[in-house]
Structure 1
Amino acid sequence: MNDTATHATSRPMPVAKDLVHKHDASQVLLTDLRRTGDDEYVITADWTDTVRLTHTEDSRRDAAVLLTETIRQTFPLLTHAGYDVPFGHHLLWDEYRYALDLDALAAGGSGGRPELHIRCYGIARRRGRVSGLSLDITVVRDGRRLATAHTRFDIQPAAIYRRLRGERGDSEAMLALARSRPLPPPVSGAGEALRDAVLSPTDERDRWQLRVDTRHPMYFDHPSDHVPGILLLEAAKQAARGVRHPRAGVTEAMETVFHRYVELDSPCRVDAQPLPDDQQGRARILVTMHQNDTLCFTALVSVAKNATA
């Protein structure tokens, strides 16, 4: 473990923006990291000033976005401060699933200082460096569990990443190309502020085009050569609320697989298909995203029984 990690786990410390891969320090949601055991950590977040991140008409939706972004920021923090991964390495999301307690989230709103209890396992190494990591996460606020989550991601050195990505690995060029094209219109009446709408309507039932605003302050806080994974998660959530299903509504749980990058240089199709209810009797929606007829992302969404749009 490096000096930063030793210091971070010995006592609470401010989390610098580079440790969570943010350019805008005001978007840093994590405040300190403590090691509590072998490959076990507690990370504290600060939700006292988060209105800058997302805006919707329903606080439950805000809380889900806020919680997912909070969890996402733990990935680079743990890899750098917990496992000595050098800056410049790339984190590649493989799978992610979560289950929310919507009542607990609604009771406290988007505020407070939740703690994320994290167990790391399945640690892969290449040439002495961590190259893959799984996390089990429990989010607690004031003694009440808000959510559980699991994720797996791979870690690649910059040289390998550039070789695999080729010309598409130039984030500035990819962003310039995306910004040279008109942004498709948002789905109307969805409840999000215009900037947060990530679906655009099509002429086909339960099908949309992914709407990628490369100037969005959270999704593109720093240059990226592809569509960020958290934007795909948000698109799946919006699709599950917009699908033509009698119980379409607010997402309570989601299981996702990132098959390949969604690129910035071509349209991405988003489809939603109702499935039989899950074991808890919740409506279940399969959301898929294809680009150039290739499957890029899959999400199995469970909708809260009493939280309709």
Structure 2
Amino acid sequence: MSQLHLEHRVDVKHGDATPVTQGHTHKTNPDEVLLTDWRRTGDHAFVVRAHWPASHDFYATRHGMHDPMLLGETVRQTLPLISHVGYGIPLGHQLLWHDFRWELAPEALLAAERETEVELHITCTEVKYRRGRAASMLLTALGYREGRLFASSSTRFAIQDRAVYERLRGRYADIGLANARALPPAPPVPAPSVGRAHAADVVLSPAGRPHRWLLRVDTTHPILFDHPVDHAPGMLLLEASRQAAQTVTAPLSSLVVGMDTTFVRYAELDAPCRIHARRHAVDAAGRRRVLVTARQHDVEIFRNLVTLTGAPLG
């Protein structure tokens, strides 16, 4: 990934926008909906606005900077939104993440004592249809703050109706049974060691070896498990990557500025998921990188190359 800078500007336009419906973000708690409105700008192009709160219980402002993972959650919420409003996908269909790549300019994370408005310019390509409905696509988003480009992302995902999903997932498609079989959350590593203030927000558990952990899955977490699901959410795996990468680069203070993620299989709730992190070669700009992988049933189910920069600016 190349470093982003804040030179490129666009004119910000707010007319003819439609308010975002909470259900179209697949969030149960309205306070967790980051998207505010959207408008179509082409057959496969959209502009979506979002707000980043001045404070958040999980994606906390630290060192005077917004949590970079807010970008990941903002883009994640656009996947169901664009599927529903842009391609007519009915509620109840399932979205399957294949990959997710993003990077941002850290100076754009500087937070004032108020919420921050961001704007995503979205283009959907490689749209494939099945029986007249969109079944998969590549969604690319450019993020702007005050008209300045600060982030880019791309994510490939599939859309499955409930019947297809249940056939593919088998017994795991039953949310009630999946949660009944869920392992209890393991003890957390010390919160400060992974950049967290509260033990409840730690998603790694000791595994007895350096740079290896068990994924700590707490299905009662109000943010990561906003509503019952039959598997570990993708945002939980991304947070585990962030926490693991920051541990590997300690004691240097670091800020995640990019991720290159591949989702191979679902992370199930009823079996241990093992997280491993190791240093990777620096990128072309000399920024540190850490490769984080997850394995379950001795099979790799997830990998994420995390890019980090130095101490926060604020």
TM-score by length of 2: 0.88
CA shift, 1:246, in A, is 6.7
Q: 1:232 to 1:59 in 2, by over 3 A?
A: farther
Question: Gaps (5+ residues) in structure 1?
Answer: 1-8
Q: Secondary structure at the match of 1:219?
A: coil
Match of 1:175 among 179, 196, 200: 179
Match of 2:274 among 264, 269, 282: 269
- Residue 45 (structure 2) pairs with residue 40 (structure 1): yes
Q: Secondary structure at the match of 1:23?
A: coil
Match of 1:20 in 2: 25
CA shift, 1:243, in A, is 1.3
Figure out how many residues of one structure are paired with residues of the other and give that number. Answer: 297
Superposition map of 1:184-199 within 5 A: 184-188=186-190, 189=192, 190-192=194-196, 193-199=198-204
Q: Secondary structure at the match of 2:86?
A: helix
Is the CA contact 2:291–2:303 (under 8 Å) kept in the aligned structure 1?
Answer: yes
C-alpha separation between the residues in 1 aligned to 2:242 and 2:64? 14
C-alpha separation between the residues in 1 aligned to 2:237 and 2:254? 17
Match of 2:5 in 1: none
Which amino acid in structure 2 is aligned with residue 79 of structure 1? Answer: S
CA shift, 1:182, in A, is 3.2
Q: Secondary structure at the match of 1:216?
A: coil
Q: 1:48 to 1:243 in 2, by over 3 A?
A: closer
CA shift, 1:295, in A, is 0.4
Match of 2:285 among 260, 280, 284: 280
Q: Secondary structure at the match of 2:67?
A: helix
CA shift, 1:48, in A, is 3.7
Amino-acid identity (%): 44
Match of 1:164 among 149, 152, 168: 168
CA shift, 1:245, in A, is 6.2
Is the CA contact 2:93–2:161 (under 8 Å) kept in the aligned structure 1?
Answer: yes
TM-score by length of 1: 0.90
Question: Gaps (5+ residues) in structure 2?
Answer: 1-13
C-alpha separation between the residues in 2 aligned to 1:268 and 1:48? 32
Larger relative contact order, structure 1 or 2 (CA cutoff 8 Å, min sep 6): 2
Deviation by residue 1:132-186 (Cα, 9 ceiling, x = unmatched) = 01111111111222311110001111001001111111112211222xx432111
Q: Secondary structure at the match of 1:79?
A: helix
Match of 1:213 in 2: 218
Q: 1:145 to 1:94 in 2, by over 3 A?
A: same
Superposition map of 1:1-309 within 5 A: 11-48=16-53, 51-55=56-60, 57-58=62-63, 60=65, 62-108=66-112, 111-178=115-182, 181-188=183-190, 189=192, 190-192=194-196, 193-243=198-248, 249-307=254-312
Greater helix content: 1
Match of 1:5 in 2: none
CA shift, 1:306, in A, is 4.1
